[in-house]
Amino acid sequence: MSPSTLFAATGGFDPLTGGEVMVAQNIAFAIMAVTMLVSAVRMVTTRNVVHAALYLVIVLAGAAGVFILLGAEFVGVTQVMVYIGAIIVLFLFGIMLTRGSFGDDDGVDGERRSMAAMVGALVLAVMAAALVDTFRDAELSRAQPSLTADVGDLIFSQYIVPFEAISVLLLAALIGAIVVARGD
């Protein structure tokens, strides 16, 4: 985080924007961001796979909170229903059905882990430098939260072809998953 971002996240007074600092939103964002980051790091480092799935639930719930904070309530609710409601259950079933292959231990070796940490740190450094350089003090506009009706209108007018393609993709993925996983 840049110093000004950190300053705003703690709810301080920002002289650049004429004092209109959204304190409550910034505090909420700070709490959710810290929770999400800690849970994400715990998820990729914990040795217990079930715990990793539960940490993923916290990250996804935090993301839903961030969506609502950004005024995208429909995406937030969809996130809760699809991710936390369906995908996590799928993951837990997958973990249960493949139990015993690893036990509780993932067996991460040291060389692999340090290389992966290096790549991750490099990705983060490059992206953070580019973002801070490009959107230095860009503020989110303070308009109304977007209406679900507008999102629906857009899906069923301008983006109707991708929407239909997604429907066919989901059907194909469903049939494909059944065919692949079916015991014969």
Give residues 140-159 in contact with other proteins (rule: CB under 8 A).
140-141, 143, 146-147, 150-151, 154-155, 158-159
Q: How many whole angstroms separate alpha carbon 45 and alpha carbon 58?
A: 15
Q: How many whole angstroms separate alpha carbon 40 and alpha carbon 20?
A: 32
Q: Are 46 and 95 in contact (CB under 8 A)?
A: no
**Binding of residue 60 to other proteins (CB under 8 A):** yes
**Binding of residue 10 to other proteins (CB under 8 A):** no
Pick from 12, 31, 124, 164: which binds other proteins (CB under 8 A)?
124
Q: Which is nearer to other proteins, 13 or 128 (CB)?
A: 128
Mask for 154-183, x = binds other proteins (CB under 8 A): xx--xx--xx--x--xx-xxx-xxx-xx-x
User: Torsion angle of alpha carbons 56, 62, 68, 70, nearest 10°?
Assistant: -110
**Binding of residue 128 to other proteins (CB under 8 A):** yes
**Binding of residue 84 to other proteins (CB under 8 A):** no
The burial class, CB within 10 Å (0-12 / 13-18 / 19+), for 35 is: middle
**Binding of residue 61 to other proteins (CB under 8 A):** no
